[in-house]
Amino acid sequence: MAPVVILIRHGEALHNILHDWELPDPDLTEKGVEQCKALMAELEPNLPFAQEECRIVVSPLRRTLQTVHHGLQWLRDRGVPVEVRAEWQETTDNPCDIGREPSSIMSEWPDFDFSGLDPIYPQKIDLYENSEEAFQKRASLVKRWLFRRPEKCVVVVTHSGFLKRVVQGPKFRNVEYRMYELVEGTEDLELSEISRGKASAKQT
């Protein structure tokens, strides 16, 4: 049986408030860190799964890695593994959406699992190019990957632009989470919403 999927958008980052898409791989703001703490306070008592039933998957960009660190540390402390996957990175080829070299990321996050990180990363080519065709192909791929996972729950921390291609619905707010079940649609797998948490920030 396919796992329940919890999709989370990262906390507020510097490019969100400065509207500066030329910032390379920006960090969370102080407000973004506080949003992550609010996410933890809301999600922890409402997660209906044991830690051994869960896995965390995260985009390799700094703002998503930091969101896991500040917002999901309680799961990590219980032994829930964190897997870093390039497929969940943001869509554009602006500097804010281009990640750093894996060697520098891995040294900063030594307890995260980078073994499944596509060696193409951080190049914006092939599956990761800035085109709608590539976005849709990547969205289909991640849904198929999730469908095959053995866990009962997979928590994914990713980005609003890519989330728009994975699921239909209004734009995710910073650190907003929504729970889904995977169902087989007419042409592809679909994510059917089960519930959603409270948004912790205004739309950015």
Residues annotated as catalytic are 10, 159
Taking the C-alpha atoms of residue 2 and residue 113, their distance in angstroms, rounded to an integer, is 22
CA 157 → CA 133, 176, 185, 188, distances in Å?
A: 22, 10, 24, 22
Question: Which is it for strands 4-9 and 153-158: parallel, antiparallel or unpaired?
Answer: parallel
Is the bond leading into 60 cis (omega within 30 degrees of zero)?
no
The Cα 182–Cα 9 span in angstroms is 19
Amino acid of residue 38: A
Is the Cα dihedral 98, 99, 101, 104 positive or negative?
positive
Element (H, E) at 9: strand 4-9
